[in-house]
Chains A and B, each alone.
Chain A
Amino acid sequence: MRRNPIMEIPLPATDTLDVLNQHHRQRMRRRGLLAILAVACLAALALDAATGPSGMSPWRIVTGLFRPDLLTPGEAAIVWQIRLPYALTAVLVGAALALSGAEMQTVLNNPLASPFTLGVSAAAAFGASLAIVLGLGLPFLPQDAVVALNAFIFAFGSVLLLQAMARARRGGVQSIVLFGIALVFAFNALTALVQFIASQEALQQLVFWTMGSLSRSSWRSVAAMALVLAAAGPFSWAAARALTALRLGEDRAASAGVDVGRLRFLSLLRASLLSAAAVAFVGVVGFIGLVGPHIARLLVGEDHRLYLPASVLSGALLMSLASALSKSLVPGALLPVGVVTAVIGVPAFLILIFRSGARG
């Protein structure tokens, strides 16, 4: 019989090797789930690319992806200039929003934190509205790019405000979240004001921003999103262990050697880049950045070496499915993808609130 080293009393027999084996089996299972998520993402990407009002059969589109020479020039244009950039943008935007949300939730220690709930999306929409209504222009840049740039500037600005709060942080991390909610209301009100004075024509464009839409996707947006993800992703990965430790609490993490202030600053910086870029290209797409990380947490737990990749894949999968759905819900019509994610996301959000309420 083994003995407890502290008290001379018998312990329930728990074999060290057995515990380690179970731990390893659990990790293998979670890696398996990651692989399944990745395959599901690829399938959703194909489904999304094959869905649409062109009259081309899904099979013909999938064939066209591998054998472009078999397509007519018109079909090739649909596949290569519309479907593929749309579908890839959806995947990349979903990935960026979910990674952003996952980092925000960890460093702000709040399961309801996301680019959408903290006002980053609302700020971007306001920035875009301003650019559209005021007809802002820059030399050598198309109007579209100026709008995206202004959306980015405002999104980034809102995160800098959040950062400033995080640094002052008298009321603790919770106050940052409340401040974010205040930002949502403030920017929504400002956007409404801009809409009120906007011309009919500008109003049409504004709708694109406030509802979120993939309809402006192009290879340019694919390249830009891929670039931002490639720039932020490795740093997120490098911070994964420190982020996991932060889940034990700020003091515990600091005592274990994590520079919490620095980690929080850099993490929010990455999150802002990712979400601002995403919103700059597709407008306000809610709930992906909130729900993606929650799905990941349910599937693989919060070891961030698994949780961050799982968030990325969950977000990409959700956004890809929402995009396919937005094209097929109403025959012949392309719904704004932000509307679809909201319809799916609001119930999910409410479930999260009730769950956390029941536990808290």
Chain B
Amino acid sequence: MNLTVEALTVRYGDRTILRDLSLQPLHAGHVTSLVGPNGAGKSTLLRAVAGLLPATGQVRLGDGVLSGLSVAERARHVAYMPQTLPQDVALTVLETVIAALEASPSPAGAQRAEQRALAALERVGAQDLALKRLDRLSGGQRQIAGLAQAIVREPRVLLLDEPTSALDLRHQLEVFRLAQAYARDNAAIVVIVLHDLQAAARVSDHVVVLAQGRVRAEGAPQATITPLTLADVWQVRARVEPCQQGQIQVMVDDVL
């Protein structure tokens, strides 16, 4: 099962954010990182794939065309976790996950919904937050609760927009491992928007570099996160070297 994006164009008024954008097929079981400078169109691409923006072009999952589906139908296949965190919500974490599951009609009963929601919380390691009010949590905890809301429907395409922006080091790692485990165990396609290139190299099987609404590089981390791309796209002078353990290290020396 592949996700393919072909000739995607997104306009806001008279501004074109994405122009005729196509991607290499994204494979099931793989984690893809979407990187690029601010304003490159990363979030727009993710939201367009999620069907939250009017776009021309085609998004296909396997043989099915996603771009033609209704909001409710698409929700069965795709989950999107936005960057923003909900504020002032008088719901417990468990209630928010149940709400995400029951937002559109699904065959599961109430009992089943509660258990699925708890299982999702357990999967992100947030079971002990289940009965806490969402608006009493820290930003990082809300982000983790958001992740549970996104995976509770067990989507085949999981789109995460900067899922680690509010997280400390350890929780960042946990989320990356969760993304990898989710892709592997659910044979799912996981796409993550990231700013941290080193993290992108570490977590993903595939990297898409976006700038000004166009794809500037795509492929394996070693092939895409290079001094050349960093200079070309981010305008920085940087070294990219493997460490003793073979992990890619990105060292930025100066602006260009």
Contacts and interface: CB of A to CB of B under 8 A. Distances in A.
Contacts of B173: 7
Contacts of B174: 4, 6-7
A222 B146 CA distance: 45
B102 interface: yes
B90 A14 contact: no
A327 interface: no
Nearest to A261: B71
Contacts of B81: 252, 255
Given A14-B130, A248-B86, A301-B95, A259 B72 contact: yes
B86 A359 contact: no
A12 B125 CA distance: 10
A242 interface: yes
B103 A247 contact: no
A301 B91 contact: yes
Contacts of B11: none
A16 B96 CA distance: 17
Contacts of B76: 257
Contacts of A245: 99-100, 102-103
A245 B91 CA distance: 10
Contacts of A75: none
Contact of A256 (B95, B104, B122, B128): B104
Contact of B95 (A11, A303, A359): A303
B219 to A, nearest CB: 27
A20 interface: yes
Interface string B124-144: 110110110001000000000
Interface in B85-107: 86-92, 94-96, 99-104
Interface in A1-57: 4-7, 11-12, 14, 16, 19-20, 22-23, 26
Nearest to A248: B86
Given A248-B149, A253-B103, A257-B71, A16 B125 contact: no
A257 B90 contact: no
B128 A11 contact: yes
A303 B91 contact: yes
Q: Interface centre among A12, A247, A253, A259, by most B CB within 10 Å?
A: A247
Contact of A251 (B82, B101, B104, B177): B82
A252 B90 contact: no
Contact of A303 (B88, B99, B115): B99
Contacts of B115: 16, 20
Size range of the interface on A? 35 or more
Contact of A258 (B51, B80, B84, B103): B103
A19 B125 contact: no
A252 B82 CA distance: 7
Contact of B153 (A19, A256, A360): A256
Contacts of A23: 92, 94, 114, 130-131
A255 B50 contact: yes
Interface in B183-232: none
Nearest to B95: A303
A255 B52 contact: yes
B92 A241 contact: no
B71 A14 contact: no
Interface in B139-187: 146, 149-150, 153, 170, 173-174, 177-178, 181
A111 B88 CA distance: 9
Contacts of B96: 247-248
Given A5-B125, A7-B173, A255-B79, A241 B88 contact: no
Contacts of B59: none
B52 A254 contact: yes
B156 to A, nearest CB: 14
Contacts of A241: 99, 102-103
A6 B127 contact: no
Contacts of B90: 297, 301-302
Given A248-B86, A356-B88, A6 B181 contact: yes
Nearest to B82: A251
Interface hub of B47, B94, B95 (most chain A Cβ within 10 A) = B95
A213 to B, nearest CB: 34
Contacts of A251: 47, 50, 52, 80, 82, 84
Nearest 10 CB-CB pairings of A with B? A257-B104, A257-B75, A245-B103, A256-B103, A255-B80, A251-B82, A257-B72, A302-B90, A244-B99, A301-B90
24 contacts: A6-B174, A6-B177, A12-B128, A14-B127, A16-B115, A20-B114, A23-B114, A245-B100, A247-B99, A248-B99, A251-B52, A252-B86, A252-B100, A255-B78, A255-B79, A255-B82, A257-B75, A257-B76, A257-B103, A258-B104, A259-B72, A297-B90, A356-B88, A360-B88
